Every structure is written in structure tokens, then in C-alpha cells.
């Protein structure tokens, strides 16, 4: 087909344009005059729009929040939505993180895969349609976002100024097609601690975890004990029994207990080991006496423990499209006044928030535990028969020869921010997901194949 032939002819241009844009360090920085997310993202946007102009597209810069390259006529438009901002490069790179060097058929740089390479591939896919003179019935916009990694605030701004697309995709996940993204909640559960311990062991503080959406790999408790050796002995027996990594240090009558687990993403808590809940399990082995903090620890042990789907809490929702609810305790902060935990629950795509929160609230009723700082993102779900899904499946099969299976994920993509969009590529099945990793790269052949798939997908949606 002409689209593929034209992309092959533009191969070197596509590679060079991708290199040009990934060389710009576009991590969010302090806001500057006319640069809502700092200099880096604004520079990357300017670069992408210059490339788009050179390719003959009409362009627009929406106050450095976002911009787009546009082609075609018509009231309605089809969109490809990608982002030019990146996460910090971090350490451990074998090639310069913004060098865009090519080694063994791979281009190395932060953003090659997430998401500058894929959005350049889509831009060249549209250029191939333009050069082939293919007739479209809808306008097409390749939209460049600049804040996906730190809040997607630019999409809100874009939608205040522009109408939404009627159909489209974001090249910022994996193939074949992600038609479902779970509902995401992050919130605190809080209990005031009034009744203090009268036992031999007093809990002064418990702290652990970094973020709601990470399985905590460390948690630490500071206790005061009349007989610290009792705790040392209990820890030895507990470690033998469970295999958990619990260490105890004694200084006079102060006892420090450290729990080490294994981190994982909050959407996949079963892949980690929760250091907070390991520590809670150990504390229940001790004689904590009658007090509010002991009641809180007991409640969490009995109703969560090391479970990751909310079974004992009564919130283990499940559907065929996206599997079971995920239940992650990400942060704990307990002092003498208050117990606070930050939870990240993600519920199946065909369920409603009330399906989860009604049983959740029933479970904490009468315990003195309350919910605070509740943040919610609705699930996203496109039925398998939806025209957008059918069109993308057809293109994927034609271009790769593989069946386009539908995926549902626990994470959230740009598709949740912009109406009528699903996540489509760029990572092929079996290939590593190098997003946010050191030595992020895109294989040159994958960059080219993405351009072909995206070109055909745009044509299919806009013809």
C-alpha cells in the first residue's frame, strides 16, 4: 500500500526527527512566563511544531500547554494524542540519556519509547497519507501534550479551548489494543488514637512507604518496652515462621523494628511484598495491651493482611474484561495522636464506584476509622464491538499478521483524560516495557512499523 511505501522512503527523515526531539530534556520544571511546565516541555513542543510545519501541516500552539499538527477538512476530527514531556532520566545509563545515539539498531534516550518516538511515528504516518493524496472525510490532528507524566493538566486546558475528537488513539501503552482501564481511587483512612496503651509495650510511631501507587518496600516502628528482649525473641520466631524480613534493634528500653518488603507498582500489588503489612503482622504477635492503636493494627491484619484483592475487606470485585480489584496499602504514618494509611484501590472496568465503596464503608462502620482526601478516576471501557476497536483491530492484523487481542489494565493512560480515545501501542507483545527505565530505547524497525500501523489507523478512522 502507498502509505507503507512512502514511510519506507521517509525512513531517514523519521529517524532524524525523532532524534531531534528526544535530544531535548523535557522534564517538568518551574513555571515561567508563557511556559506553564517550564522550559524543557515548551522547547520540545516548539521543536515538534517546527517539524510538523516542515512536513507541510497546519500547526497551532495552545499557550505552550499543548499543540497540534492538522491535516484535512471537515467539522469533526480524529486525533492521535501523544506527549513530549518525560520523567527524569535517573542513573545507570550506558549511553547518554539525551544523546539519541543508535547502537545495534536501537535508539537510546529518555522519551524514545515514552512517548516522543511513537508520536513522531504517528506524525509521519499522517505525512504518508498526505503525500499519497488519500481522501479523508474528517480532519486529523496529531496532538502534542506536555504534562502527561505529572498530571495531564494540559488536556484540561486543551479541552477548554478546543472541542474533543470524535475518535482516536494514544500511542503510549502497548499493543494490541487497551480497551479497558480500571477505575482508580487514592484515599486516606484515619483513626484518632484516644485510648493509650497500658501494656508493657507502647507504640510511639510507625512510618513506611513512599506513595499510594507503590507497594512499600520499607516500614519502621519505634516502640518503648519494659522487656525489649521479649521483642527480639518474638521477632526471631516470627521470621522463622513466615520468612519475612524483620529486624529488631534495641537501645535501652527503645526498640526499633524494621520491615523490608519488595516494591511493585500499585496497580499490580501481587508482584510486590508489602513491608507495612509484614510489620503489622509481626506487631500482633506482641502483647500490646488494650489500646486504640492495637485495635487499628488488629483490624487491618484481620481485614487486609497480605491480601492484594480486598477479599477479607469485602470489596473483591471482578469482571471478565479486567479481572480482580487491586488493593494496595501504600503509606502508613502513625503517631501517638493519629493513625493514617494511604490506600490505592483500582476496581474493574465494568463496575461502579459504589460497588466498591458501599461494602468498604460498611466494613469500617463503628470502628472509628474514617475516609479522607478521596481522589477518584472513572474506569474507561470500550465494548469489543465498538467501531473504534474494530477499526484498530483490523489495521493491527493487516500490518502485523497477528490477532489483535483486547487488553484491560490497572494503570491509567491519556485515554482517560481525552474523550473517545483508546491506548494503541507502541510496545509490541513480548518486547520489554522500558518506560521510565535507565537505557530506554526504541528499536528502529519498531519505530518504522509503528509509523505504518499509525498511518493506516489514521486513514481507517478518518476516511
pLDDT for 411 equals 83
Q: Taking residues 379-386, what's their average pLDDT?
A: 96
Q: Annotated catalytic, 91? A: no
Residue 156: CA count within 13 A, CB half-sphere? 5
Question: Do 16 and 82 sit in the same domain of this protein?
Answer: yes
Which three-class secondary structure string do you get for the chain? Answer: CHHHHHHHHCHHHHHHHHHHHHCCCCECCCCECCECCCHHHHHHHHHHHHHHHHCCCEEEEECCCEEEEEECCCCCEEEEEEECCECCCCCCCCCCCCCCEEECCEEECCCCCCCHHHHHHHHHHHHHHHHHCCCCCCEEEEEEECCHHHCCHHHHHHHHHCCCCCEEEECCEECCEEEEECEEEEEEEEEECCCCCCCCEEEEEEEECCCCCECCCEEEEEEEECCHHHHHHHHHHHHHHHCCEEEEEEECCEEEEEEECECCECCCHHHCECHHHHHHHHHCCCCCCCCHHHHHHHHHHHHCCCCCCCCCCCCCCEECCCEECEEEEEEEEECCCEEEEEEEEEECCCCCHHHHHHHHHHHHCCCCEEEEEEEEECCEECCCCCHHHHHHHHHHHHHHCCCCCEEEECCCCHHHCCCCEEECCEECCCCCCCCCCCCCEEEHHHHHHHHHHHHHHHHHHHC
Task: Point out the catalytic residue in the list 28, 114, 115, 148.
Answer: 148
Which residues make beta-bridge pairs with 70? 58, 141
Q: What percent of the chain has pLDDT over 70?
A: 100
Q: Taking residues 283-289, what's their average pLDDT?
A: 90
Q: What percent of the chain has pLDDT over 90?
A: 92
pLDDT tens per residue across span 234-260: 999 999 999 999 999 999 999 999 999
Q: Over the chain, what is the mean pLDDT?
A: 96
pLDDT at 115 over 80: yes
pLDDT for 90 equals 87
CATH code of residue 398 = 3.40.630.10
Query: Domain boundary at 324, 359, 376, which?
Result: 376
Question: Do 386 and 438 sit in the same domain of this protein?
Answer: yes
Question: Do 140 and 158 sit in the same domain of this protein?
Answer: yes
Question: Do 342 and 251 sit in the same domain of this protein?
Answer: yes
Query: How many whole angstroms separate alpha carbon 384 and alpha carbon 178?
Result: 11
Q: How many residues appear in the chain?
A: 463
Task: Show the domain range for 339.
Answer: 183-376
Query: How many whole angstroms separate alpha carbon 93 and alpha carbon 179?
Result: 34
Q: Annotated catalytic, 217? A: no
Question: Do 371 and 413 sit in the same domain of this protein?
Answer: no
pLDDT tens per residue across span 159-203: 999 999 999 999 999 999 999 999 999 999 999 999 787 778 999
pLDDT for 195 equals 75
Question: Do 38 and 92 sit in the same domain of this protein?
Answer: yes
CATH code of residue 202 = 3.30.70.360
Query: Domain boundary at 333, 348, 376, which?
Result: 376
Give the residue from 129, 161, 157 showing the smallest Cα distance to 142: 129
Residue 437 has which C-alpha cell? 527505565
Question: Do 261 and 273 sit in the same domain of this protein?
Answer: yes
Q: How far is CA 238 from CA 29, 127, 280, 286, 397, in A?
A: 47, 64, 12, 11, 54
pLDDT for 358 equals 98
Residues 6+ apart with CB under 8 A from 94: 108, 439
Task: State how many domains the chain has.
Answer: 2
Question: Do 159 and 221 sit in the same domain of this protein?
Answer: no
Question: Do 109 and 187 sit in the same domain of this protein?
Answer: no
Query: How many whole angstroms separate alpha carbon 177 and alpha carbon 183?
Result: 18
Q: Taking residues 308-329, what's their average pLDDT?
A: 97
Question: Do 214 and 178 sit in the same domain of this protein?
Answer: no
Band (289; pLDDT cuts 50, 70, 90): confident
Query: Domain boundary at 376, 409, 427, which?
Result: 376
pLDDT at 265 over 90: no
Question: Do 366 and 439 sit in the same domain of this protein?
Answer: no
Question: Do 367 and 386 sit in the same domain of this protein?
Answer: no
Amino acid at each position: 500500500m502507498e502509505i507503507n511505501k512512502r514511510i519506507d522512503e521517509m525512513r531517514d527523515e523519521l529517524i532524524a526527527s525523532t532524534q531531534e526531539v528526544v535530544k531535548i530534556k523535557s522534564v517538568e520544571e518551574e513555571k515561567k512566563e508563557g511556559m506553564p511546565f517550564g522550559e524543557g516541555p515548551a522547547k520540545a513542543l516548539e521543536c515538534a511544531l517546527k517539524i510538523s510545519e516542515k512536513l507541510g501541516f497546519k500547526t497551532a500552539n495552545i499557550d505552550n500547554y499543548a499543540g497540534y499538527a492538522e491535516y484535512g477538512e471537515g467539522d469533526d476530527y480524529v486525533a492521535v494524542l501523544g506527549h513530549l514531556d518525560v520523567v527524569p532520566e535517573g542513573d545507570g545509563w550506558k549511553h547518554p540519556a539525551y544523546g539519541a545515539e543508535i547502537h545495534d539498531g536501537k535508539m537510546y534516550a529518555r522519551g524514545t519509547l515514552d512517548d516522543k518516538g511513537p508520536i513522531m511515528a504517528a506524525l509521519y504516518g499522517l505525512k504518508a497519507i498526505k503525500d499519497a493524496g488519500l481522501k479523508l472525510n474528517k480532519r486529523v490532528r496529531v496532538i502534542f501534550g506536555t504534562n502527561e507524566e505529572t498530571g495531564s493538566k494540559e488536556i484540561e486546558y486543551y479541552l477548554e479551548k478546543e472541542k474533543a475528537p470524535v475518535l482516536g488513539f494514544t500511542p503510549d501503552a502497548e499493543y494490541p489494543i487497551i480497551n479497558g482501564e480500571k477505575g482508580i481511587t487514592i484515599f486516606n483512612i484515619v483513626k484518632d488514637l484516644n485510648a493509650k496503651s497500658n501494656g508493657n509495650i507502647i507504640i510511639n510511631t510507625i512510618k513506611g512507604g513512599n506513595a499510594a501507587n507503590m507497594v512499600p518496600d520499607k516500614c519502621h516502628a519505634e516502640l518503648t518496652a519494659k522487656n525489649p528482649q521479649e521483642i527480639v525473641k518474638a521477632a526471631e520466631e516470627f521470621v522463622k515462621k513466615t520468612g519475612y524480613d524483620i529486624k529488631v534493634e534495641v537501645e535501652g528500653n527503645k526498640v526499633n523494628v524494621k520491615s523490608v518488603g519488595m516494591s511493585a507498582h500499585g496497580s499490580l500489588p501481587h508482584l510486590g511484598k508489602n513491608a507495612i503489612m509484614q510489620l503489622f503482622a509481626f506487631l500482633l504477635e506482641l502483647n500490646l495491651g488494650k489500646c486504640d492503636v492495637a485495635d487499628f493494627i488488629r483490624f487491618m491484619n484481620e481485614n487486609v493482611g497480605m491480601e492484594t484483592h480486598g477479599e477479607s475487606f469485602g470489596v473483591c470485585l471482578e469482571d471478565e474484561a479486567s479481572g480482580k480489584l487491586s488493593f494496595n496499602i501504600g503509606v502508613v504514618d502513625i503517631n501517638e495522636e493519629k493513625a493514617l494509611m494511604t490506600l490505592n484501590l483500582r476496581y474493574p472496568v465494568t463496575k461502579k464506584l459504589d460497588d466498591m465503596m458501599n461494602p468498604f464503608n460498611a466494613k469500617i462502620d463503628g470502628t472509628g476509622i474514617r475516609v479522607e482526601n478521596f481522589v477518584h478516576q472513572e474506569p474507561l471501557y470500550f465494548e469489543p464491538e465498538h467501531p473504534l476497536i474494530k477499526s484498530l483491530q483490523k489495521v493491527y492484523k493487516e500490518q502485523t499478521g497477528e490477532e489483535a487481542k483486547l487488553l484491560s489494565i490497572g494503570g491509567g493512560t491519556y485515554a482517560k483524560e481525552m474523550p473517545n480515545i483508546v491506548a494503541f501501542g507502541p510496545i509490541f507483545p513480548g518486547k520489554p516495557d522500558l518506560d521510565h527505565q535507565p537505557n530506554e530505547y526504541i528499536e528502529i524497525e519498531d519505530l518504522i512499523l509503528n509509523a505504518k500501523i499509525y498511518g493506516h489507523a489514521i486513514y481507517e478512522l478518518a476516511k
